[in-house]
Amino acid sequence: MKSENTSILIVYTGGTIGMKQNPETGALAPFNFEQIEQEVPELRKFGYTLNAISFNPVIDSSDINPSFWVELAQIISENYDKYDGFVILHGTDTMSFTASALSFMLEGLTKPVVLTGSQLPIGMLRTDGKENLISAIEIAAAYRNGQALIPEVSVFFENRLYRGNRTTKHNSEHFNAFRSNNYPPLAEAGISIKYNYPFIHYPTQEQKLCVHTKLDNSIAVLKLFPGITENVVSAVLNTPGVKAIILETYGSGNAPMQDWFLKRIEDAIGNNIVVFNVTQCKAGGVDMDKYENGLRLKKIGVVSGSDITFEAAVAKLMFLLGKGLHGKTLADELTKSIAGEITLK
């Protein structure tokens, strides 16, 4: 842990965690995060300097979009030299999308950026918000020999810290709302916080933060289901302005083998649209060499998403399109790990 001079910036974007119940009306309203130590007096025991910024107005996580990610990245950039770590309080529904986007946008990150939230408002008696917030701050402040223990974008929820771009929300009711099916936790909080050092990304040389703020959301999603019609497939693939398609396939990357389906996909690729194969399964990944169906997709130029999550696939495409990549160049970059979002074989 760092010294008592440790400074942490808390960024409240919106979401359940920042709500407080009016004792008279029972209505929920955001509380003032500038008075966070009054709301959560346990934080005073850390001895850290805690400052807070709140979005005004706060944003429901269902309304998150790329411009929000840019604003959030700019806040971190503007305050990067002033603070040792950052805690972002965010609604749970799209937290994994935001964590994924930031992991790509904050190139050269050497300080902790920890996203957290809660299933119950922090002002309620049984809230999970206090524990999530306290642990997230402790992790954001954790340093050894001048180096952050978690120098990457992460998500902390219900005693576990995950790489942000490996997470997905899997439960809307339980406190353990998030999972990282294809990558181990970076840390687990019990009596003490135990860090899983071999799986944490540490810079091998001195790096300077480079914040990317150009994102291009010219993408569409084609989720397969038994009985999908040619009209539906055509409508998605021929959407005006689309530069890349996430093809949500079955199992290890399989899709229907009807001639019309393969022809539609092949035509799209021929029109310089990148088709990115991402499995509908929550665990495991795409292996287009495993079955004949996958091999045929590979032969016509469909790009394997490996074990990427859907959330990370969306963010990665927007990030790479924002860099002006397209066609084969884009396809080649999708197969590379930018921020630990896929497992390279």
Q: Which residues are designated catalytic?
A: 16
Q: How far apart are CA 74 and CA 97, in angstroms?
A: 17
Q: What's the residue count for the chain? A: 345
H-helix or E-strand containing 217?
none
Q: How far apart are CA 314 and CA 246, in angstroms?
A: 8
Burial of residue 67 (CB within 10 Å: 0-12, 13-18, 19+) is exposed
Reduced to 3 states (helix: H, G, I; strand: E, B; else coil), residue 327 is helix
Token output for 136: 């997230």
Q: How far apart are CA 140 and CA 153, in angstroms?
A: 10
Instruction: Write the DSSP string, 21-65.
Output: E-TTT--EEE--GGGHHHHSGGGGGG--EEEEEE-SS---GGG--
Q: How far apart are CA 64 and CA 17, in angstroms?
A: 16
